[in-house]
Chains A and B, each alone.
Chain A
Amino acid sequence: MRVELEALSRSFPGVRAVQDVSLAYEPGRLYALVGENGAGKSTLMHLLYGMLPPDAGRILVDGRPVRLAGSQDAIRLGIGMVHQHFMLVDTLTVAENVVLGAEPGRWGRLDRGAARAAVRRDAERFGLAVDPDAPLESLSVGEAQRVEILKVLYRGASFLIFDEPTGVLTPQEARGLFAILRRLRDEGKTVVLISHKLDEVLSVAEIIDVMRRGRHVGRLAREEAGAERLARMMVGREVLLRVDKPPAAAGPPVLEARGLGVRRRPGQAELADVSFILRRGEILGVAGVEGNGQRELAALVTGLLRPEAGELRLDGRPLRGLTPRRARDLGIRHVPEDRQRTGLVLDMSLRENLILGEEGSPAAGQAGVILPGRVAALARRRVAEYDVRVADTRQSARALSGGNQQKLVLARELDGDPRLLVACHPTRGVDVGAIEYIHRTLLAKRTRGLAVLLFSSELSELLALSDRIGVLYRGRLTAVLDADVVDEETLGLYITGARGVADA
């Protein structure tokens, strides 16, 4: 199946997400689409998958223009998408998930034997080992992704789009996925891998398309593309905005972890024997592939999880029986990894969101009564100070852009000069301008003595902001490195366990 995109454009209010993009895809090749966050990669693929209509331009399949009113149309044409967030039903079995909506069987009967056979057939042909009868909730993330791929194949897709598929995978699982992508290609399918990770793109893709700010800026064969060249194309000619990190002036220890540990449970990774010291005026980055204990460490420090071994000390005093409320009272603040689910109550106003956790303080009211005047004044000050671009603080948080929502969380958590900030992926999914602002704010607070425990999956971010970087690998702190002497490549070796385990 040959797929062509002709002069596709699509805008959202205030953003020209995709501008005049033309691309052609030949069958049996493995493509990659790279670009920074917000470069328009996902939007382009959503246009191709019928999830969004284009403002201009057209899509041709085997030379014929097609109209896609929804993803159903795309599926019918043989275009399939493996989403970043899985669309799977936990309580159904693998086979049931695969056939759902297109079930084999007559007279309303669900032919389980046929469903199982279909899963086995595709699984064998494409090397997607998974038990058709296993309930979905018993699967690992990597296996669940295979089920998503099987779903797409079962519906007869010959053009497969993978939207940032490795974000949730361990390095081993990612290698397994790449083998599957190659296998799919060998079987004559067209594969498009959307990614912003250059190393993985260079290791699997044959043809690499680069997008920048909504435009297609070039197509390279793997042989002619190097990491530097791709990076230059992704970022543009102008010099990369580097945050200026003043030299560290770390003071006395603020947070001390001694032999922290929690056991592995469903939905919880293991953490074992984690010890570190975080000083005043210091940013300690934590690097690691998702699922290696970062979430658990952040939860321990913020009181959301109790350690089963070891202890935490704040200013030298042990933190026993820490609860989120007590953590706040002690000056420990938290920028959670998912601002929409944990950081904010989206349907409440900016004002209400800004006093959450302090609704009992004199800044918000008196004797259990919230005083609207005080709240409004507080909200206005914080919104102005933290550059939340909003006309009216009575607006609901849902109406804000990702970057503004994140600044809202920062305004609440950083105001009042706390002792310690646990920042989890503080720039995930926000626009470039907001990233810059957030970086500058964190560094400014550090200069004023804030201790920051920074979790990020972007190694470049960790390197730019941190004074030292700890590496979590399989729940253990396998190294603590000086941020000035490591580079991204070395850090990559540590987070995949190629280095550091023996030294720890």
Chain B
Amino acid sequence: MIGLLLGTLRTATPLLFAALGGMFSERGGVVNIALEGILLVGAFAAAAAAYYSGSPWLGVAAAVVAGVGLAALHALVSLRFRVDQIVSGVALNMLALGATEFLMWIFFGSGSNSPRLGSPGLPATAGRLLVELPPLTLLALLAVPASSWLLFRSRFGLRLRAVGEHPEAADSLGLPVHRLQFYGVLLSGALAGAGGAFLSLNAHYFVKNMSAGRGFIALAALIFGKWRPGGILGATLLFGFAESLQGHLDLPWLPVRFMQLLPYLLTMVALVGVIGRCRGPAAVGRLFVKD
């Protein structure tokens, strides 16, 4: 049971980071399907920095920086240069895939995976469960109340929500609509970047295309969680549970391949069940243009 619980928390970690990130982007009105690419770039940056510096924590920092960088590109392209947000996101996902493959050869001299990496750890005095639980997982869990405070109890959060709902109203009150949206997207890059760091550092390797669709599952969790931190936590735990069930559930009559499908099937069922009954930010995906 403890094993299943830990497995659930571990698999949920990158999803949680990425979905919370997506929440800040979409609450401000910008669709960020580049989450997938940001996870991947974060994973790579963490691996490269951790490998060369020997410090996994430096790897995490590098992942956050790389995530913010890719997110900034998304914000710049879609807000400043008015490219459709979906198109920009797709392009950045492809860029992330190609760039990480290419850089793997340069950094690690291999096209498939990196050398073995260390994981970030806490001092052994921290207690058994805390040692068992990766520190990044703890951080992700702490990010839930922090995000909730930022979104609902801070000035920035109020303005961000207003901008994502009714940018014209925000503008009429003198709020800098695009700048607020920019910050929301950058925040999504930082969080998803951290999620990427968890992917490679927890697995001890960076593997080609290791994000494997988790960015999109995170987007599904964002919708399933109704754009709220608490809901997102629940959704990512559910998806994490479905995925880690594979290793713990041994049903001879059920093909293994089917078990691997489970998280994805669950995603679709969850979305069908929730769509229509929930409403995202009203102005999401619509570029605000001041006339």
Contact = CB atoms under 8 A, between A and B. Distances in A.
A112 B152 CA distance: 10
Nearest to A90: B165
A91 B175 contact: no
Interface residues of A, number: 22
Interface in A125-165: 151
B204 interface: no
B158 A87 contact: no
Nearest to B173: A101
A71 B172 contact: yes
A108 B149 CA distance: 11
A111 to B, nearest CB: 9
A357 to B, nearest CB: 27
A100 B158 contact: yes
Given A71-B172, A90-B282, A91-B282, A105 B166 contact: no
B257 interface: no
A101 B154 CA distance: 12
Interface in B135-170: 153-159, 161-162, 165-166, 168-170
B273 interface: no
A319 B282 CA distance: 36
A92 B27 CA distance: 13
Contacts of A103: 155, 158
A83 B168 CA distance: 13
Given A109-B153, A109-B155, A92 B165 contact: yes
Chain A CB within 10 A, most for which of B156, B161, B166, B282: B166
A59 B4 CA distance: 72
B213 to A, nearest CB: 30
A92 B161 contact: yes
A109 B166 contact: no
Contacts, number: 61
B154 A100 contact: no
A91 B161 CA distance: 9
A483 interface: no
A101 B282 contact: no
A110 interface: yes
Contact of B158 (A71, A88, A96, A151): A96
A108 B155 contact: yes
B3 interface: no
A348 interface: no
A377 interface: no
B25 to A, nearest CB: 17
A72 interface: yes
A110 B157 CA distance: 9
B165 A87 contact: no
Given A108-B154, A109-B153, 11 more contacts: A70-B174, A71-B174, A89-B165, A89-B169, A92-B162, A100-B162, A101-B159, A101-B173, A101-B175, A108-B155, A110-B157
6 contacts: A90-B165, A90-B166, A90-B282, A103-B155, A108-B154, A110-B157
Interface of B: 153-159, 161-162, 165-166, 168-170, 172-175, 281-282
A-B pairs, top 3 by smallest CB distance, nearest first, are: A101-B173, A87-B169, A87-B172
